[in-house]
Chain A
Amino acid sequence: MKRHFRELSVAGALLAVLAAMAVFAPAFYQPQPLLSLATREAPTLIVACGMAFVIIARQIDISVGSQFSVCGVCAGLLAARGWPLAAVLPASVAIGALLGALNGFLVAGLGLPSIVVTLATMVTLRQGLNLVRQGEFVNLPDGVQWFGLSQTTGQWLLVGFALLVLVVLALALRHLAAGRFVYAIGSDAEAARLAGIRPQRGTFFIFVFMGALVGLAAMLNLVQSPQVQPLTGNGLELKVIAAVVVGGVAISGGRGNLWGAFAGLLLLACVAPALIHLRIEAYWEKAIQGAIILLAVVADGWRSRKAKG
């Protein structure tokens, strides 16, 4: 109970928001808009899972937004050339993994700080994409949107798939030895080395894995519309980092889990629709999200200060 205080308190805040909506704006609970909201957030959820891995391992990756755009555009171009979705999906994941491997090599192989490395790859990838595409949209062939199914079925499929990924990864992080290695590396890399875990190799693979998940998320985004925008990933990194941190994953590594990150993401995702339904102007969304992040870290700060006495 005490161990999971942080995750439970975020879940509690989420429930409070949902309850408030039920009382003040029951319109929020119309199934179709809710499903659309969940579908929009499905790719974000997958990236947030990867980000939780990265942050638990005491690293950070702010290039995910750019990776997302690059994967989306590449996958879109392949699909436009007539590749079947079954082939585009692994290609997108592979491109993501490749981009992650670049980060991983620089961080784990050369020992550079991840924040600066991923800052640099973020700018490089984004500008590289702009240079090549000049902001052009990619038109997708028929049959790509919603896998050629009806919109509702497609939406259910996407949301279900994202939740499946979440559950599988959350269980792996808790019950698979490799998942525990992520915590070990983030908690104390030197101790991990002494315990026979290779932290450099682990860190490298975590970045590769992050990239692969971004590639997967880009696919989930791709099938939602008839076009791929080259700028879809802008700002994604901050959104997922915020969700993960609000969900109780410590930025200092070694602590937190995916359920918390999930709750954090839902809480932040509810802000915009909640504002609309509560008739507060939508311009407040970013400010409120910022306030939630600060509130979460301030709560952490108070708690650790109190714990120290």
Chain B
Amino acid sequence: MSPALLELRRLAKSFGGARALRGVDFELRAGEVHALLGENGAGKSTLIKIVTGAHQPDSGTIAVAGTPVADLTPASARALGIACIYQQPALFPDLSVAENIALRLESGAGARRVDWRARRERAFTLLNRIGAAISPEAEVRSLSMPEQQLVEIACALGAGARIVIMDEPTASLTQKEQHLLFAVVRDLRTQGVGVIYISHRLEEILALADRVTVLRDGESVGTHPIAEIDEAKLIKLMVGREVAQIYPPSEATPGAVALALRGLGCRASGVHSVSFEVRAGEIFGLAGLVGAGRTELARILFGLTPADAGTIELGGRPIAPQSPQEAVAQGIAYVPEDRRRHGVVLDLPLAPNMTMAIHRRIFPGTWLRPRAERDLALGYIRDLAVKCTGPEALGGSLSGGNQQKVSLARWLATQPRLLILDEPTQGVDVGAKSEIHRIIRRLAKEGLAVLLISSDLPEVLGMSDRIGVMRGGTLAGTLPGGADAPTVMALALGQAA
């Protein structure tokens, strides 16, 4: 048995009154990929922040390679060979790739000369090692999200990290980049590096990890070798109960054509010649890899990046939304992917959040009507089972799943004809996820046309009445609801099915 590279004993941490960690034990061996799993709020991010020195634990011990360490700081954690690749790359957008890597790797001393040539050469070597075709001279702000993530990995590699933490690294990667990443992870493992791998995607964990530790409510509910566990067991561990049926059955009876796209395109966002129809009461799933143009298509429909080719018909009438206001007026609702930045205003109470898109209707003549607003909010809080203290609660006080329900409520209040859902359950815990699925089903049953964008393949397969698969900015094909995962993936990857 290899020695423990990182050993956490009885780690506890509270924020204000909330106990984020209640005495967690965790062990990482050299040369293993150890997955860390848990619903949102289970304590994963707190654990990571303690290991990387961003937070100090209230009690408990940390030992790196058998040596106890106290008072970890980001700098001392780095010196111990602990590196973290965050979901949102923590890079400097205004600086070059080479400098970004250098700032992570060089010592924190201010009074030394910068060797620009060495910086460039090191960046070039490191990027080559992970097969990334990125110029060291490029400004980071000009890179795509996956490219930025690769820069992060290059940083970790360059630091000679013994302990690499990956926090949802595949959330924004394309399939090809994912495979590249997995190869890099396996390569790290053979070099004796310990990898802590956090992901919501169970199939990824089963494919990549050696062991998995599940956190629930700030406690560890067990560490298991991957060979002894399967998806159903993991879900059971995470939620503490068996989830009998993950996806509610379809009860829809599709009606008239609600949305018809013909040859739709937009040069700026790389979408071209998209044609399909969605009927009232139908859930049309949009599958595809990240970067295939699904969110871009939604942004065209919602007027954020107006189309420059083709036509959109909504309820039989041609429309050409040039701004979100116009799209909303036409009856299009868009629940965006980035909930915290675009979905819910965290500093505003729930009631104004829910009425934000219907100012004209609920406040005729621009005068606010607090009672009508409160009643409407109470209605949706009850209807969608939003867990909160009331319509006055701030958006930021809710959990991710409940924030998503608030975002949904805002758009249902517009009484739309077409509801676009972009990754509606990303970063949402399992319980809230199935609630959101039930809501989507109910809405379709009530006659709403739903366009469901999701990178969670089982979700698209389980929820959709029909599935459109996008690839390279256009629709690669349409499949019936019962399609299986390999068929969808084959279309998405461009292989003959």
Contact = CB atoms under 8 A, between A and B. Distances in A.
B111 A176 contact: yes
A253 B94 contact: yes
Contact of A191 (B91, B106, B108): B91
Contact of B110 (A177, A188, A193): A177
Contacts, number: 73
Interface in A176-218: 176-181, 183-184, 186-188, 190-197
A203 B43 CA distance: 32
Contact of A197 (B52, B103, B114): B103
A188 B90 contact: yes
A187 B93 contact: yes
A177 B111 contact: yes
Interface string A149-181: 000000000000000000000000011111111
B94 A255 contact: yes
A254 B94 contact: yes
Interface string A220-256: 0000000000000000000000000000001001110
B103 A195 contact: yes
Chain A interface main SS type: helix
Contacts of B112: 176-177
A184 B104 CA distance: 11
B91 A188 contact: yes
B39 interface: no
B363 interface: no
A176 B92 contact: no
A183 B110 contact: no
Interface residues of A, number: 26
A205 to B, nearest CB: 9
A197 B113 CA distance: 16
A45 to B, nearest CB: 24
A177 B106 contact: yes
Nearest to B269: A309
Interface in B93-152: 93-95, 99, 103-104, 106, 108-114, 116
Contacts of A180: 95, 99, 103, 114
B90 A181 contact: no
Interface in B43-59: 52, 54
B92 A197 contact: no
B1 interface: no
Contacts of A188: 90-93
Listed residue (A194, A253, A309) with the most chain B CB atoms within 10 angstroms of its CB: A194
A178 B103 contact: no
Chain B interface main SS type: loop
A190 B90 contact: yes
Interface residues of B, number: 27
Nearest to A253: B94
Contact of B95 (A187, A193, A197, A250): A187
A160 to B, nearest CB: 25
A192 B113 CA distance: 19
Listed residue (A174, A253, A254) with the most chain B CB atoms within 10 angstroms of its CB: A254
Contact of B90 (A174, A177, A191, A309): A191
Contacts of A186: 94
Nearest to B104: A195
B266 to A, nearest CB: 11
Contacts of A190: 90
Given A188-B91, A191-B92, A254-B95, A175 B114 contact: yes
Nearest to A250: B94
B74 interface: yes
B213 to A, nearest CB: 24
A270 B166 CA distance: 55
A186 B95 CA distance: 10
Interface in B371-419: none
A254 B92 contact: yes
B74 A196 contact: yes
B77 to A, nearest CB: 9
Contacts of A191: 90-92
B268 interface: yes
B75 interface: yes
Interface of A: 174-181, 183-184, 186-188, 190-197, 250, 253-255, 309
14 contacts: A176-B112, A176-B113, A177-B106, A177-B112, A177-B114, A178-B110, A180-B114, A184-B103, A187-B94, A188-B91, A188-B93, A194-B54, A196-B108, A255-B94
The 7 A-B pairs of least Cβ separation, nearest first, read: A178-B110, A254-B94, A196-B75, A187-B92, A191-B90, A187-B94, A196-B108
Given A177-B111, A177-B114, A191-B91, 8 more contacts: A176-B113, A177-B112, A191-B92, A194-B52, A194-B84, A194-B86, A195-B103, A196-B73
